[in-house]
């Protein structure tokens, strides 16, 4: 086996490591593009913006943090449309994705590689009318939230009016996400008491147990950040091609997702010697000669 035959495979194996070291694409790393690095330490190329409004969704704010991996943007648009068509009502309100080139974004630890998005919770009034979420409302274990979003400092404000988690449409959203073959959902960060309400609804509805298990697997209340009782944080996993190009980590890679390429085992001494001989004919004899 020659070095020339091994070289392309070595490049594929080393690409993610190269991305982690360089941090950015360059003429020396032409294969590195897309979602580069980890969600909390990376950047983004080839991003696309999600329009301010679409079928079944609307952005919460115009702050330039509406760029993402094309798969992420397509997934949000597709699932919002699916929910709106199956259960008409107020649109899904979409919070931040990433900046044009990813990287650090104010108020976020992740959102750096275009694979994360904040999806506000579907809400209804106490009498059951679907209304757009006014912002990041904090929901309790009873599924109720004060209708006034926090002020600019993050402090809660009480209005005496409440909104309720629209558990039916929230489940339809989660179901559409975990069922998507293109989204490759890695995590849905959500408070455990809200997850309990949604999963209990899905089981009572008689949903496919395997689908419910998928949802339970990706739903998680993170232990190193806020409880996510005010929104659903979507993170998509790297595809095999994205992994080769420099996309890394962000959580477990679930067995039902497309298989990632395996790193090549380093060559043994004999193979390494043959590679050197192939590159530098006669080097092997020189290495063994007397000084």
Please check the confidence at residue 165 and state whether its pLDDT lies above 60.
yes
Q: What is the reported pLDDT for 8?
A: 40
Tokens 């339809």 — which residue? 172
Q: How far apart are CA 10 and CA 271, in angstroms?
A: 13
Is 125 inside any structural domain? yes
Percent above pLDDT 90 for the chain: 55
pLDDT: which is higher, 173 or 154: 173
Average pLDDT, the chain: 83
Is 129 inside any structural domain? yes
**pLDDT tens profile 18-42:** 444 445 566 556 667 789 989 988 8
Count of domains observed in the chain: 1
Tokens 């849905």 — which residue? 188
Record the tokens describing residue 135, joined without a space: 């912002």
pLDDT: which is higher, 134 or 285: 134
> What's the average model confidence in pLDDT over 149-155?
62
Is 268 inside any structural domain? no
Is there a contact between 192 and 221 (Cβ–Cβ < 8 Å)? yes
pLDDT: which is higher, 102 or 178: 178
User: Angle 167-179/70-86 helices, nearest 10 degrees?
Assistant: 140
CATH number of the structural domain spanning residue 41:
3.30.1380.10
> What's the average model confidence in pLDDT over 59-80?
95
Is 58 inside any structural domain? yes
Is 43 inside any structural domain? yes
Please check the confidence at residue 83 and state whether its pLDDT lies above 70.
yes
Question: Coil, helix or strand for 189?
Answer: strand
Please check the confidence at residue 216 and state whether its pLDDT lies above 50.
yes
Ranking 102-111, 140-149, 272-281 by mean pLDDT, the lowest is 272-281
Please check the confidence at residue 97 and state whether its pLDDT lies above 80.
yes
3-class SS shares of the chain: helix, strand, coil, % to 5: 35, 20, 50
Residue 277 confidence class, pLDDT cut points 50, 70, 90: low
Is 288 inside any structural domain? no
| Domain containing residue 112 | 6-245
Is 158 inside any structural domain? yes
Alpha helices in 87-234 (DSSP H): 167-179, 192-205, 209-218
Q: How far apart are CA 43 and CA 36, in angstroms?
A: 5
Is 228 inside any structural domain? yes
Q: What is the reported pLDDT for 18?
A: 44
pTM recorded for the entire structure: 0.79
């Amino acid at each position: 086996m020659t070095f020339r035959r091994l070289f392309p495979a070595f490049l594929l194996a080393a690409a993610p490591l190269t991305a982690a070291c360089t941090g950015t694409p360059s003429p020396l790393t032409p294969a590195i593009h897309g979602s580069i690095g980890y969600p909390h330490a990376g950047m983004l190329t080839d991003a696309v913006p999600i329009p301010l409004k679409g079928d079944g969704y609307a952005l919460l704010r115009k702050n330039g943090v509406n760029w993402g991996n094309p798969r992420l943007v397509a997934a949000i648009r597709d699932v919002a449309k699916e929910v709106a068509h199956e259960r008409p009502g107020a649109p899904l309100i979409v919070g931040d994705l990433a900046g044009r080139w990813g990287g650090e974004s104010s108020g976020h630890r992740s959102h750096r590689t275009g694979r994360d998005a904040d999806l506000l919770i579907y809400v209804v009034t106490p009498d059951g009318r679907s209304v757009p979420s006014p912002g990041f409302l904090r929901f309790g274990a009873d599924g109720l939230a004060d209708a006034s979003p926090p002020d600019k400092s993050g402090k809660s404000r009480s209005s005496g009016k409440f909104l309720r988690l629209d558990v039916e449409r929230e489940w339809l959203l989660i179901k559409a996400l975990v069922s998507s073959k293109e989204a490759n959902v890695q995590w849905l960060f959500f408070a455990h008491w809200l997850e309990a309400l949604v999963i209990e609804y899905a089981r009572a509805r008689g949903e496919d147990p395997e689908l419910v298990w998928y949802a339970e697997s990706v739903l998680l209340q993170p232990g190193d950040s806020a409880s996510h009782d005010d929104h659903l944080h979507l993170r998509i996993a790297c595809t095999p091609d994205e992994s080769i190009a420099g996309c890394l980590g962000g959580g477990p890679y679930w067995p039902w997702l497309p298989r990632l390429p395996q790193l090549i085992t380093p060559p043994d001494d004999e193979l390494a010697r043959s590679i050197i001989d192939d590159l530098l004919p006669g080097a092997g004899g020189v290495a063994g000669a007397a000084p």
